[in-house]
Every structure is written in structure tokens, then in C-alpha cells.
A and B are shown apart, each in its own frame.
Chain A
Amino acid sequence: MTADYKWQDGDWRQGVFDALMRQDIRQVAYVPDAGHSSLIEACHETSDLITTVLTTEEEGVALIAGADLGGQRGVMLMQSSGIGNCVNMFSLLSVCGFPFLTLVTMRGEWAEFNPWQIPMGQASEETFRRSGFLVYRAERPDDVAEIVEAAARICFDSECAVAVLLSQRLIGSKIF
């Protein structure tokens, strides 16, 4: 399924995409984000994937839960600034036992230019944990695909909510 998209050499997101495909992800929901942009394009160009753009991350929590009701595995791609938008909706996951996987590009933690990103970025991990998530962090390009695949396995095999934080050092800090 990867043949449709032309990855740039060295783009670690190709490994992430392949890991998601190996784990039988069928739905991808996202809020547009620079750090995920090649992954989002690859998902849109993959005919076997249902790729849905959201107006807010909160929708993605409910959408992926709905996909599970229909027997499909999903993932949400988001940025750390969207975590706070989801907090009440996260109650769906723990109350019903929905497996839920999200990949989160981090802001507000590494050479951040925009101070408005820092409060949510710094609260990301604790917000997830207090909402019942397992949280993993990826810091180095060589590790990302393995971490994402392990996160997907524990998410769907053990039916739990899992967040993978893709560090701002990994993504590259935004240049204005």
C-alpha cells in the first residue's frame, strides 16, 4: 500500500506509516499539522485507508471509537495543542474500554518560538496520564517506527488508550 506515495529520502514517517499498515489501521483522523504533513498526504493517497479531516481533535476521539464499534482500527494524528480540546471526550475511552491510538507532534518543549504553545505542550504528558493513557515518547528518528508499532500492539491487543509523543526535537522546531 505504500507504493502510491513518494516519500522523501530519510523521512522517518515512512516507517511510521508502514508500522500502522502492519497493524491493520483502517481509519486515520487528523487535524492538519506540519509535523505530520507527509504522513497525512500518504494516508490520503492510500486507497485502502479512510482518512478523515476534523475541525477539532475532540471529534477524532469519538470518530475512532465509532470506527471500533464498526470493527475497524483507527489512529488520530494531532498536535500537542489539541490535547486539551479532548479531555471530556477521553471519558468515552476509559468508560467503554475503547482502544485508542494517537500520534502527537509536540510543541512548547524544544526551542519553541511561540510562548502560547508552552502551557499545553508542558501539560501534555500529565494530561494524557490523568485521562488514563499509556504514554510513550519518541526522540530519535531511528526509534519512531518501533515505538509506534509497539504502541499500536499494546493499544489493540490489550484494548487501552495510548499516546505516542513525537518530541519537538525530533520534528524540528517551527521556524517563522
Chain B
Amino acid sequence: MLDRRKAVKSLLAQRGGDVLIVTGLGSPTYDVAAVADRADNFYLWSAMGGAVPMALGLALAQPGMRVLCVTGDGELLMGLGGLASVGVAQPRNLAIVVIDNEAYGETGGQKSHTAGRPDLAQIASACGFQRTVTARTESEMTELRNLVMGAEGPVLGVIKANAGEHERVLPSRDGHFLRQRFKQAVGGVP
């Protein structure tokens, strides 16, 4: 099992200017903000289940950019159908990273479905994702980073993480600000 904060930091260490990120609510938002609060991050603070389809719409609109959806197991479980829609759309520039601590950290650490039999990487494979990697060790993290940063999508990486909570690094909650800032960063607003 990996430390989520360190894993996300190592994942984004070599992030280029062509990588756009959408985060799922809760800890993935804090993990990405803890690396760097950037204009080309769009943080969700609610809309649970919406991170993957939002990243899909962005990836389809910006085929020249790499779009990363960084989300959690609980958030993804609420919108599993989105994986099937990605599997149909086959965006080559979309990568999904699930930080899977098998628990709902925001609500007291109750077990999520991934603590049982359901396996998000296998679900993504069955939905038609090109490749998936599940990382439990540092060396597997290298493989995961290569996949989500470079491989032809859609791809999905699962970071199996310790259940422990980290300091909450809270980016802006002003949705209008986040939207305008993001659109300016990708040239969507004159």
C-alpha cells in the first residue's frame, strides 16, 4: 500500500504544460492541490460521480492535451457508468487515476466496495479501456506513471493507498473563479 500524498506528488513531478487535471471531490482534490495549485487544475467539491464524465467532455474538446482525472474509489463508484461511456468514446488523450484507499475518508472511513470483491481496474478493462495498472509499490508506481502520462488512452491507473488521512490542503471553493481560471489557462476564453 502506498502513501497517497507521496504517490500523487511523484505522479505529477514531471507534469508538463499539456496536462489538464480534473479532480474528484474530497482527498483527491486536496492531494492534487498539495502538489501545486495551478490554473489548469479543475477541482470538484461536490458533483460526486461527475469527475470521469467531466474529464471525458474536456478530453474530447481538447484532443491535443493530455487530460488526467484524479479521483477516489468512492467518487468513481458513484458514477461507474462513466467508465462505460469512456469505453465507447475511446478518447486517446484521457487517463484516469483512482486513489483507492478502500474507504470513504470524508465521512469517517467507512469501507468502500473496493474493500470487497469489486476491482476498478478490471471494471475499466471490461469497459474497453486500452490498459490498466494497479500500483501497490514504488516500482509499480513507475509503471503507473508511464501509463497515465504517456500511453494511448483511455487508460486507468489504480493507486492502492493507505487509509490514513492527511492534512487537508484546501484550494479555492469558488466555482466561478475555478472555471474562469481554467478556461483562460487552456485558451477557452479570449
Interface of A with B (CB < 8 Å)?
26-27, 29, 50, 52-56, 58-72, 74, 88-89, 91-92, 95-98
Most buried by B among A54, A70, A71: A70
Is B35 part of the binding interface, using a Cβ–Cβ cutoff of 8 Å?
no
Is B88 a contact of A26 with CB atoms below 8 Å?
no
- B59 / chain A contacts, CB cutoff of 8 Å: 66, 70
Which of B46, B49, B85 touches A91 (beta carbons < 8 Å)? Answer: B46
Q: At the interface with chain A, which of B98-106, B108-116, B149-157, B174-182?
A: B174-182
Question: Cα distance A67–B49 when bound, in Å?
Answer: 17
Q: How large is the interface on B (under 10, 10 to 19, 20 to 34, 35 or more residues)?
A: 35 or more
Name A64's closest neighbour in chain B (CB-CB): B57
14 pairs from A and B in contact (CB 8 Å cutoff): A29-B57, A52-B57, A52-B89, A56-B81, A58-B79, A61-B50, A62-B53, A63-B57, A66-B22, A66-B56, A67-B57, A69-B22, A71-B61, A72-B61
The A-B contact count (CB < 8 A) is 127
Interface of B with A (CB < 8 Å)?
20, 22, 42, 44, 46-62, 65, 79, 81-82, 84-85, 88-89, 175-176, 178-179, 182-183, 186-189
Name B55's closest neighbour in chain A (CB-CB): A66
